[in-house]
Structure 1
């Protein structure tokens, strides 16, 4: 997946969840939302996705109203439809019916063709001890890198 301009990144997602699978989806946007996204005024930090009646939706994704917009600006936290293939939606339904799996956005970006895309991940929540284990592993890797770079001099 070629990423053009990164708009919003959910850094906390990889800390709080085990990422099982990642999907790229388009978004159904209205009016000035695209202009606002191009200005970098969007956030996926608190967002999540769900499947209703065979359609994928993203909720709580904040796209700030466009400053030069008019009365056509829409609600910043409105429910937005995700554009996925039917096969992918059926796969996501089977994942989300399993206990403990959820759909979370990883990043929002504009691809090389100028289209707004979002990466959705099938994720399983980490327990506190899993988070500690991840942090300890990252620290150990950092120390190993640091020591190996010092030995090279």
Structure 2
């Protein structure tokens, strides 16, 4: 999908009422409950009690900034081609989804969500970007990287 088509698809989704998007997210959370694992020791105080709709980048960045062993991942849903961010951990077979505020076995998470990992950043890299831009979200460097990936995949 090229950049223009991606941006149009994103706008179309965001036109849906928030309640519709939230209900869809709740249904996805229920579906993922089958593979959810207990919060690993040491991360209990990092988890929020509510879903964080449309905040996968923000929540993943906050988590990575606070947890040195976190690996910030950016990927793409294979069905919708939307971008997504989540957290993985070096030498661990689980990951954290900031939208759902839950941990999952990495392999099953990829399968259930239909994800393809595009690239990663270390906790130190993401902290540096967060400090540089004084915000959490998709940074210009990430936008540029994703743009180049979109261009190369449509060629």
TM-score by length of 1: 0.26
**Whose relative contact order is higher, 1 or 2, with alpha carbons under 8 Å and at least 6 apart?**
1
Which structure: greater helix fraction? 2
Richer in strand (by share): 1
Report the structure number with the largest CA radius of gyration: 1
